Structure 1
C-alpha cells in the first residue's frame, strides 16, 4: 500500500497536561501495532502541556507535534496534518479508550470506509466512566438531533475513538477548534457523501486525578450551536415560511371581518396573534438565510441548492433595502390613510375594533420591512471583502 514513509496507520492522541496517563496510552498503542503487524506510528498532538507530557511521549517512542493553536479541534486538525499514515485513529490520552483493540477500525478503513466511529453504547460503558448527564441526556439528545437533521447513520456522535482516511478528511477542510470538532467531522462526512460506519468500542473510567477538560453545559451548547448552523433549512427556514404564510394570510383574511372556521370564531384578538406569528416566522426565515450565508463565508461548505445559489447572488444590502422599503411603504400608506380618515372625522373617537383591524396588517408590513432592511445591513457587513 502506498503510504507516507511506508506508514499505514497513525494513532493520534491530543494532549494537554496528560502526564498521569499518557505513557499508559502510548504503551497500549505501540503494543497494538507490534501485535497486529500494522506499520504505524503513535503521534501526540500537544496543545501546550506544562507538565512534561512532551518528554514522556518521546521517552515512550511516540512522535510529538506541537500545536500552538489552543483547543481540542485545533490539536486534532494539527495532528491530522502532521500524521504520516494513510489512516488515522484518534483517541483521548486519558486511558478511557481501548488502544489495544483497534482491529475493527483498521478492518473497516482497509475495506474503504472514510470515517469509522466507535460506539460506546454498543461496546460497553464501565460504571462511572460517563457522567449520567452525558449518558442519559447529552449524548442521546445531540446524537438524535444530528441523526434527524443530517440523516446520519451514526448512533454515538461524540465518541472520541474514531478512525478515518486521512486524505478524505483533509479534503473536508475541517475548521472548528473546540469540542464541536467532533460534530463537524461527522456532519461534514455525511453531507459530503463519504462512506461512514460504526464499530463497537468500550469506555473505561479515565485514569486522571484531575477533572476532565470537558465542560458539560458549555461544550454541549457548542455542539448544539454547530448542528444548528449546519441545518438552517429544516430547523428555521421551513417552519419560518409556514408560520409567516399562516400569519400573513390570517391577518389579511381577518381584515375583511370576523370569520368562523370549524365552528371556532376568529376576530381582532386572533389577528394580533397571527401578526405576531408572522413576525416570528419571518425572523426565522431571515435567520436561516443569514446563517447559511455566514457558514458559506466561513468555509463550512453546506449543501447548496440551485435556488439558494440564485438567491445568494442577489442577496445584497441594496436588494434587501429596496424590498424592505417596499414592505415598510405599504404599512406607511395604511397608516397615512387611517390618519387622513381620522382627520376627516375631526380627530374624534373611532371604532376601536374597526381601527385595530386595519392597523394590525399595516403595522405588520412596517415591522417586516424594518426587519428586512436591517437584515440587508447585516448581509452587507458579512459580504465586506476581508483578508484571510
Structure 2
C-alpha cells in the first residue's frame, strides 16, 4: 500500500547545477534520518545547465514551470506537491536542508505557516550583504509588522514551511520576488496560524552572482507592502492632511494670525485648502482601493470594512457632495456680489480671496466625492463568478453568419 506523503521539500531552480545536488542530498538525508514519508521536488524554471538531469539522478522529482519568476516557480511547485506539508528553500546551499526538525514540529502542532528567522538562528560571515542585514531586511520586516500586525521578525527568509492546503487557499498571485511577502501578508490577514523558528544562513555555494537584485527587488517588496495596505498608503496620510487642513483653515478663516514673529495669512489658508483637497482624494483612494483589492482576491475581505461601505452608500455620498457644492456656490456668489458692489472694480484681495478659496475647495471636494462615490458603486456591481469566457472554446455559443 502506498504510504501518503507527509512532507514535500520544495526548491525553485534556475541554473543551480553547482549546488543542486548538495541541497537534494541533504534533504533526502533528513527524510531518511527522521523516517518522514516525503519527497524532494524541484520546480525548474527553465534551466539550461543540466539542473534537471542532476535533480533526477539524485532522487528528486522535477516539475517544469514555464512562466519565469521566483513566485511563478514556487507556485508551480506548490501546485504539484504531494505532501501535506511543504518546506521550501533556495537551491543555492545557503540553507541547511538537513536540519528541518523545528519546521516539521511546528507544522505537526497545527501551524499553517512556519517562517525561519535568520537573525535569531545565525548568519555566517559573508552570507548576507551588510545593507540587507542592517537596512533592507530590518526596515521591510518592521514595515510588515507595522502594516499587518504580524509577529514575523524576518519577513524575507526563504526557508519556510507551510500547510499545503492552507497556502493553496490563499490563491497567491505574484510571480516575482514579492511572492515571499505575499505569502506572509495573506496568511496573516486570513487569520492563519503563523509561527517562527530560528534558522541559519551561510554563504551560498554558487560562483555566479545571485538572481536577487538588491534595490530593484527591495523596491518591489516595499511597493507590494504599500499596495496591500491601503490604510497606510492612502487612509492615514489622507486623514492627517484633512486634519491639518481643517485645523489651520479654521484658525485662519477670520483673518491673519501671528505666531511669535511669524504671520500666517492668505497663503497659509491656501495651503490648508490644498491639504483638504489632497487628503480627501487620498481617503477616497483608500476606500476604493480596499474594496477593489478584497473583491478580486488580493486582500481577504473585512467585515468591518464591508459594513462601513454599506453605510457609505452612493446616495449618502451624493448628498454630502451636493451640500459641499452648494456651500461652494454660495461662497462664489458672495464673492461676485462683493465685486458687483464695487462696480466690478478692485477688491480687497485678502478678504475676498478667503471666500474664493473656500468656494473652490468646497466645489472640488464635492466633485471628488461624487466621482469617487460612483466609482465605488461600480465596484459593488454583482458579477457572475463562472463567466462564460471561462468555458472551453467548444462550449461557447457560436454566432451564425446570418446574425451579423
2:364 corresponds in structure 1 to 367
**Aligned mates of 1:304, 1:253 — CA distance in 2:** 38
1:178 corresponds in structure 2 to 176
**Aligned mates of 2:316, 2:215 — CA distance in 1:** 40
Distance 1:329 1:72, change over 3 A: farther
**TM-fit CA distance, 1:374:** 5.0
Write the deviation string for residues 260-289 of structure 1: whole angstroms up to 9, x where unpaired.
789986432321221122123223212212
Contact 2:189 / 2:299 at 8 angstroms: preserved in 1? no
1:151 corresponds in structure 2 to 149
**TM-fit CA distance, 1:368:** 1.9
Deviates more, 1:245-254 or 1:52-61: 245-254
**TM-fit CA distance, 1:342:** 1.3
Contact 2:23 / 2:93 at 8 angstroms: preserved in 1? yes
Deviates more, 1:351-360 or 1:337-346: 337-346
Write the deviation string for residues 302-355 of structure 1: whole angstroms up to 9, x where unpaired.
351435444168666x98677656544543443343234313312211111101
1:56 corresponds in structure 2 to 54
Q: Secondary structure at the match of 1:6?
A: coil
Q: Secondary structure at the match of 1:7?
A: coil
Distance 1:378 1:51, change over 3 A: farther
Write the deviation string for residues 201-235 of structure 1: whole angstroms up to 9, x where unpaired.
11111122222111212211221122112222245
**Aligned mates of 1:374, 1:217 — CA distance in 2:** 37
**TM-fit CA distance, 1:86:** 1.0
Are residue 30 (structure 1) and residue 28 (structure 2) matched? yes
Q: Secondary structure at the match of 2:344?
A: coil
**TM-fit CA distance, 1:92:** 0.5
**TM-fit CA distance, 1:379:** 4.9
Are residue 337 (structure 1) and residue 316 (structure 2) matched? no
Distance 1:190 1:265, change over 3 A: same
**Aligned mates of 2:322, 2:52 — CA distance in 1:** 61
Distance 1:326 1:75, change over 3 A: farther
TM-score, normalised on structure 2?
Answer: 0.86
**Aligned mates of 2:307, 2:80 — CA distance in 1:** 36
Question: Which of 340, 343, 352 lines up with 1:355 in the alignment?
Answer: 352
Distance 1:310 1:277, change over 3 A: closer
Aligned residues: 384
Deviates more, 1:31-40 or 1:371-380: 371-380
Contact 1:251 / 1:360 at 8 angstroms: preserved in 2? no
**Aligned mates of 1:58, 1:340 — CA distance in 2:** 86
Q: Secondary structure at the match of 2:136?
A: helix
1:189 corresponds in structure 2 to 187
Contact 1:47 / 1:69 at 8 angstroms: preserved in 2? yes
Distance 1:256 1:48, change over 3 A: same
Question: What is the alpha-carbon root mean square deviation over aligned residues?
Answer: 2.7
1:284 corresponds in structure 2 to 282
**TM-fit CA distance, 1:141:** 0.2
Distance 1:72 1:366, change over 3 A: same
Distance 1:141 1:267, change over 3 A: same
2:89 corresponds in structure 1 to 91
**Aligned mates of 2:132, 2:65 — CA distance in 1:** 28
1:274 corresponds in structure 2 to 272
1:244 corresponds in structure 2 to 242
Deviates more, 1:214-223 or 1:132-141: 214-223
**Aligned mates of 1:87, 1:294 — CA distance in 2:** 32
Contact 1:31 / 1:100 at 8 angstroms: preserved in 2? yes
Deviates more, 1:22-31 or 1:362-371: 362-371
1:202 corresponds in structure 2 to 200
Deviates more, 1:252-261 or 1:140-149: 252-261
**Aligned mates of 2:360, 2:3 — CA distance in 1:** 69
**Aligned mates of 2:261, 2:46 — CA distance in 1:** 69
**TM-fit CA distance, 1:41:** 0.3
Structure 1's unaligned 5+ residue stretches are: none
Question: Which of 212, 215, 226 lines up with 1:228 in the alignment?
Answer: 226
**TM-fit CA distance, 1:249:** 4.9
Distance 1:383 1:54, change over 3 A: farther
**TM-fit CA distance, 1:156:** 0.4
